């Protein structure tokens, strides 16, 4: 639902001339990147405590397998997570929790957020063309 709300607000802002599409895309990129980075570093901060928790001790093998998968397929998870609302806020924290490389995360997240914000801009432009044609 939040994605629909974002598209509606961005379309209204653009259609009414309150902001250029370039500003909307730039703000979407900045917001997505800042949110993802905050989640990633929250996961890194929580990581040591989580790994020593009773939950982690009980499920050590499962957690280890999951973390190995995240480390191996983390770059793909970043892109998938950016475009699927249900897991969008979880993927950064899980990658941070797993000890995923910081620079690698930043590069892939920047690319994923850029692609996502450009897609948002394209949707807004497409909707605006649809509104003006109808």
More confident residue, 134 or 101: 101
Q: pLDDT of 18-46, one tens digit each?
A: 999 999 999 999 999 999 999 999 999 98
More confident residue, 54 or 116: 116
pLDDT winner (highest mean) among 3-7, 45-49, 54-58? 3-7
* Whole-number pLDDT of residue 133: 66
Model pTM score: 0.85
Residue with tokens 């599409």: 21
C-beta of residue 77 within 8 angstroms of C-beta of residue 95? yes
* Whole-number pLDDT of residue 134: 58
* Whole-number pLDDT of residue 69: 77
Rounded to a whole number of angstroms, the distance between the first and last alpha carbons of the chain is: 25
Mean pLDDT of the chain: 89
Average pLDDT over residues 82-107: 89
- The full 3-state SS of 48-113, as one line of letters, equals HHHHCCHHHHHCHHHHHHHHHHHHHHHHHHHHHHHHCHHHHCHHHHHHHHCCCCHHHHHHHHHHHH
């Amino acid at each position: 639902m939040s994605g629909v709300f974002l598209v509606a607000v961005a379309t209204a802002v653009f259609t009414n001339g309150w902001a250029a599409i370039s500003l909307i895309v730039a703000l979407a990129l900045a917001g997505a990147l800042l949110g993802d980075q905050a989640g990633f570093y929250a996961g890194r901060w929580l990581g040591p405590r989580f790994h020593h928790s009773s939950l982690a001790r009980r499920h050590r093998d499962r957690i280890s397998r999951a973390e190995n998968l995240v480390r191996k397929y983390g770059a793909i998870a970043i892109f998938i997570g950016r475009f699927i609302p249900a897991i969008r806020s979880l993927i950064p924290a899980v990658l941070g929790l797993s000890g995923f490389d910081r620079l690698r995360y930043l590069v892939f997240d920047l690319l994923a957020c850029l692609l996502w914000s450009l897609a948002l801009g394209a949707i807004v432009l497409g909707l605006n063309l649809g509104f003006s044609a109808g």
